[in-house]
Amino acid sequence: MTSDKKTASLLADLFVKKGLHEIVLSPGSRNAPIIISFEQHSDIEAISIVDERSAAFFALGMAQQKKRAVAIACTSGSAVLNYAPAVAEAYYQKIPLLVLTADRPSYLIDIGDGQTIRQENVFANFIKKSYSLPLEITTKKEQEKVNRLLNEAIDYTGFPEPGPVHINIPFEEPLYGLAGKPLSGKAITVFENLPPFNETERQIFLKQWHQSRKTLFIAGQGIPAKKLNTILQYVSGFQQVAIMTETTSNLYSPDFMDEIDNLITEIGEEEAEDLQPDLLITFGGSIVSKKIKKLLRKYPARNHWHISPSGEKRDTYFCITGVIRAEAADFLTDVKDKLTENQSGYRNFWQKHKARVLEKRKSFLDKTAWCDLKVFDFLFRQIPGNSFLHLGNSTPVRYAQLFGSQPKFRYFSNRGVSGIDGQVSTAAGVAFAAPDKINTVVTGDLGFFYDSNALMNQYLTANLKIVVINNGGGDIFRFIPGPDTSTQREKFFAAKHHWKAENIARAFGIRYFKAENEMELKTSLQEFYGETSRPALLEIFTDGVNNAQILKEYFRFMEG
């Protein structure tokens, strides 16, 4: 059985024929035809999550892991707006989502009818493309037109780079009618492969490479990519090359500079000017480090090429020369034999600098008492290997950059928009889609409380481990310049509180642990990762003011 609404029936049929299988549905009446059509399909996994905001982030996490679009579907009205944070994150992080919003017929909009807003193009500023379906399919020609539109919409979620696509679907009452046979659609491929590399740009790039004595690569957020890692490892051996990565780049080599904030902190003004790149090559998503942005905006590269399959002009450092429309691994592999090694001390400087920085960090940590910095150091050493590590915004992901990348982790973080919402929900979605992996999300207290509806979910899995660093507020505002000295800091920036996560965890059947010192943390972690029947939450208590003071001391020490 399926819905008697032909648009919903056709969509469900094409959804499967295009290779998609998962949809996260939120309760409602106007979206009943979508619920019926998708839930009744034997090849579709239909998941029900009440809170649309959390549901969308859960689907985002699933799509990260599946590497294909996951659909979300909700009723009309304000429910649609609750999707906005996750849709924006998917857009800027390049994660495929198929956003299905049920709507009233157009004649009911703006006349005072219930649960109606202007839904067409509602995500206009952060969506790859938006479509609206007709109210009815009455002729074969109309069916062919809708068939083409749905194929295009689904293809757009993955081409030329992944991202969210919105389909608004109006339905006329009655909404719960059934039909015995689904409407059959035809799967077609709307888009071809990326065009060949632009030869003119290729030659300009190679000329600048041959002339450069200081070539700096910066890898933004990305998924693990063996081919890319291999070609970067190769070019990292050139004398004139330094490769900077972050934890969220998911690239690893001892030769990569994965301690960006530590490295930049120790560099003085004269050194910084001397290290100004001749050639800057960037790829991937956003960069966490504010220090590298500040440095390269003050001392911009003479030439900057960004590599992007969609041709996106990501001018993070305000000095872009051009964009190479390609996958980074494909382009660098293609030009590999044309890349020359140029006489330079650039690589050696960064390698020696990294070794010195690591020694200084160890020296500081060895004498540091209980605080957030110490907690993160301990956690990253104790979290089991072969794990997925989810880093909350904004403090946890920044602390992680101080400890570099570890090959035992795959790193996740919602750094597309970098909001604090949806961190736990996203991790829950990944954990559900990857049941064979331990998924540990490390979040601040405000990030957890803000997304606590993530626990109102029947699909939480035992491999989900939630670590909440509870320092009584938004700790980042206690150490970044400006709010750190403001008289409004605690009430309006840090949002100081005395809340605890224990009762929230217990209300939703989550195993709860806590730690207030290093010995308790060590003991709690053994039980925290021990039982495998239910998800678990570990709340670690630290002093926010003390954390800020120690972190400031850390950076002063690194500058010395």
Please give the single-letter amino acid code of residue 462. Answer: A
Residue 531 has pLDDT above 80, yes or no: no
Q: Which helix (H) or strand (E) holds 464?
A: strand 464-470
Report field, pTM of the whole predicted structure over 0.85: yes
Q: What's the CA gap between 23 and 48, in Å, rounded?
A: 9
Classify each residue of 261-282 as buried b or exposed e, where b means 16 or more C-beta atoms within 10 Å of its C-beta. Answer: bbbbbbbeeeeeeebbbbbbbb
Residue whose C-alpha is closest to residue 443's, from 477, 419, 478: 419
Residue 549's pLDDT band (cuts 50, 70, 90)? very high
Omega before residue 418 within 30° of 0, cis = no
Q: Is 131 exposed, middle or buried (0-12, 13-18, 19+ CB in 10 A)?
A: middle
Q: Which helix (H) or strand (E) holds 390?
A: strand 387-391
Please give the single-letter amino acid code of residue 560. Answer: G
Residue 560 has pLDDT above 80, yes or no: no
| 423-433 helix and 52-66 helix, angle to the nearest 10 degrees | 40
Q: Token pair of 207, please?
A: 């000329």
Beta carbons of 106 and 170 less than 8 angstroms apart: yes
Q: What's the CA gap between 432 and 108, in Å, rounded?
A: 39
Please give the single-letter amino acid code of residue 527. Answer: E
Q: Is 110 exposed, middle or buried (0-12, 13-18, 19+ CB in 10 A)?
A: exposed
Which CATH number is associated with domain 2-179? 3.40.50.970
At which residue do the structure tokens 């009205």 appear?
77
pLDDT tens-digit series, residues 184-235: 999 999 987 888 889 999 999 999 999 999 999 999 999 999 999 999 999 9
Q: What's the CA gap between 471 and 110, in Å, rounded?
A: 46
Residue 243's pLDDT band (cuts 50, 70, 90)? very high
Please give the single-letter amino acid code of residue 148. Answer: R
CB-based contacts of 548, cutoff 8 Å, min separation 6: 475, 478, 479, 484
Q: Token pair of 234, please?
A: 């190769």
Q: What's the CA gap between 11 and 185, in Å, rounded?
A: 8
Q: What's the CA gap between 536 and 463, in Å, rounded?
A: 8
Residue 480: what pLDDT?
Answer: 83
What average pLDDT does range 54-75 have in this prediction? 98
Beta carbons of 125 and 194 less than 8 angstroms apart: no
Angle 414-472-548 from CA coordinates, rounded to 5°: 80
Residue 172: what pLDDT?
Answer: 97
pLDDT tens-digit series, residues 315-342: 999 999 999 999 999 999 999 999 999 9
- C-alpha 55: how far from chain center: 16
Instruction: Provide the pairing of β-strand 45-48 with 22-25.
Output: parallel
Beta bridge pairs of residue 514: 539
pLDDT tens-digit series, residues 386-418: 999 999 998 999 999 999 999 999 999 999 999
Residue 291: what pLDDT?
Answer: 95
Residue 268 has pLDDT above 90, yes or no: no
Q: What's the CA gap between 223 and 422, in Å, rounded?
A: 19
Q: Which is the CATH superfamily of the domain at 199-353? A: TPP-binding domain (3.40.50.1220)
Helix ranges, 2-81 (H): 6-17, 32-39, 52-66, 78-81
Domain positions in the chain: 2-179, 199-353, 368-559
Residue 394: what pLDDT?
Answer: 87
Beta carbons of 402 and 34 less than 8 angstroms apart: no
Q: Indicate the average pLDDT of the chain.
A: 96
Q: Which of 44-58, 160-174, 253-267, 480-494 has the lowest mean pLDDT?
A: 480-494
Q: What's the CA gap between 177 and 83, in Å, rounded?
A: 27
Residue 481: what pLDDT?
Answer: 87
pLDDT tens-digit series, residues 374-385: 999 999 999 999
Residue 240: what pLDDT?
Answer: 98
Please give the single-letter amino acid code of residue 286. Answer: S
pLDDT tens-digit series, residues 120-143: 999 999 999 999 999 999 999 999
Q: Token pair of 299, please?
A: 């001392």
Q: Which value, to the nearest 10 degrees, does the dihedral of the CA atoms of residues 47, 48, 52, 54 take?
A: -70
Residue 72's pLDDT band (cuts 50, 70, 90)? very high
Class of domain 368-559: alpha beta
